[in-house]
Structure 1
Amino acid sequence: MSNPSTFDPTVILDRLSYDRLRSYLEDCDNDLNRALDLYAWNARIAAAFLEDLGRLEVILRNRFDEALTALVSSAGQTSYWFDQPALFPGLHGERALDDLGKAKLRATQNGRLPTTRSRVIAEMSFGFWRFLCAERYLTSLWSPALASQFPNHPTPDNAIQIRADVDFRMARLHFLRNRVAHHKPIHRRALADEATSILELSQWMCSDTHGWISALSRIPAVLASRPA
């Protein structure tokens, strides 16, 4: 709990703005001190989610990269998968190709050449991987490659169901990550469900990954510490 003897809560309200504190005040019966406690807790739970989302993102992007590399190799291609426009056809592929182009530019900025696979992968956003889960990529990417990266899914041979289940969770986590990145309230969200989504995705990919993320996660403890 914050100690109002060290600051004037009304000044903090003015500094943060009423609009930013509105949802906290509404949930705390307009008790400013309680609202500031909830605001502080919101920041703590957001930080805990960022940690787990970061772990999940690195594992997932490496698995996707591995699968897509194998896909283009099996077709006799020697260039990187992200240099294969045919994987991202039509209007819906334009955004992916634009994201890839920007990632390659960032990977080679300040004279860093040649373009390396690991650098480009590291420059791609969470949103890029999330949108690779869209239904439009079922035939081109999921059935031949990406579905295989979730061997512990309840229906491991059903690429249609795997893609749908992964997409649903990635969409939720992408939305949550964007709110966290912009310091927005997440205290009204079903955060236990969001945490479950992270663990389900990690378990479907790899039991050891699930165990690692679970062991390091601060989310359960911070959720339990939510102020009344």
Structure 2
Amino acid sequence: MIRVVIQTLSVERFGTYRLAGGHDDARAIALYVWNAQLGEAFHTPIQAVEVGLRNCINHALAAKFGQDWWRERKFRKLLDRERLADLDMVQRRIGRRGLPLVTSQIVAGLSFGFWVGMLHARYNPDIWSGQLRASLPHLPATENRHSLFQKAGAIAFLRNRISHHEPIFKRDILADFRDIMNLIKWICPSTETWIRPHCRVPELARQKP
């Protein structure tokens, strides 16, 4: 049965697990299952990061450009081509679905990659001057926009690997979890305290086949 499963999942895709499992198909299957379980477990804290961070950035944009910042010409002129295309695509999608074109729909519709991109250096003086600490009051004094951009980008990279069912089992799982929880704490310490007991990543990290 194991060979049939491997054929179904793709021999080529399964090669990473077979190699890590010493070409033992049973261990390779166990690693595959463990990898899937890790991805599922990471979903809870990554969701908190994504939603929390986009709300913080929305707060900063509203403070700079007004509640409907996404409509403002001054804001749109700042955007690089990719982010401008993302913003326009979300508006079209909302319109096709017959939903109200309001900020809450825009915020929810934009990807995590969009929000991480808004932390890029190109937006530093126009958006983040005076707004970084106001929007993230719990950000440690040792951190800045650049370090936040790097850490959020690393989490977005992990999120995308999980979303595309890529292997993550070779990563330092506990380090990834620590970085995610730290970012949640920077956004809201109470949320970090609340969500930690609901996260299974540390437990699963100890169960590597």
Do Structure 1 and Structure 2 share a fold, with TM-score over 0.5?
yes
8 A Cα contact 1:71 1:144, kept in partner: no
8 A Cα contact 2:60 2:135, kept in partner: yes
Q: Percent identity of the aligned residues?
A: 31
State the distance in 2 between where 1:212 and 1:61 align. Answer: 19
Q: 1:87: Cα distance to partner? A: 2.6
8 A Cα contact 2:18 2:28, kept in partner: yes
8 A Cα contact 2:60 2:127, kept in partner: no
Deviations 1:2-28 (A, max 9, x none): xxxxxx111112221221111111111
1:153 is paired with a residue whose SS is coil
Task: Establish whether residue 107 from structure 1 lines up as the match of residue 94 from structure 2.
Answer: yes
RMSD over equivalenced CA pairs, Å: 1.8
Normalising by structure 2, report the TM-score. 0.92
8 A Cα contact 1:130 1:167, kept in partner: yes
Q: Which amino acid aligns with 2:125?
A: T
Partner of 2:174: 192
Larger displacement relative to structure 2 (79-88 or 54-63):
79-88
1:30 is paired with a residue whose SS is coil
1:111 is paired with a residue whose SS is coil
Partner of 2:63: 70
Q: 1:175: Cα distance to partner? A: 1.0
Task: Establish whether residue 177 from structure 1 lines up as the match of residue 148 from structure 2.
Answer: no
Larger displacement relative to structure 2 (96-105 or 145-154):
145-154
Which protein has greater RCO, CA pairs closer than 8 Å, 6+ apart? Answer: 2
Task: Establish whether residue 35 from structure 1 lines up as the match of residue 28 from structure 2.
Answer: yes
8 A Cα contact 1:87 1:141, kept in partner: no
Q: Which amino acid aligns with 1:95?
A: E
1:108 is paired with a residue whose SS is helix
Larger displacement relative to structure 2 (32-41 or 93-102):
93-102
Task: Establish whether residue 123 from structure 1 lines up as the match of residue 116 from structure 2.
Answer: no
Task: Establish whether residue 151 from structure 1 lines up as the match of residue 133 from structure 2.
Answer: no
Partner of 1:98: 85
Partner of 1:45: 38
State the distance in 1 between where 2:89 and 2:23 align. Answer: 45
Q: 1:88: Cα distance to partner? A: 4.6
- Between the two proteins, the alignment pairs up a number of residues equal to 209
Larger radius of gyration: 1
Q: 1:43: Cα distance to partner? A: 0.4
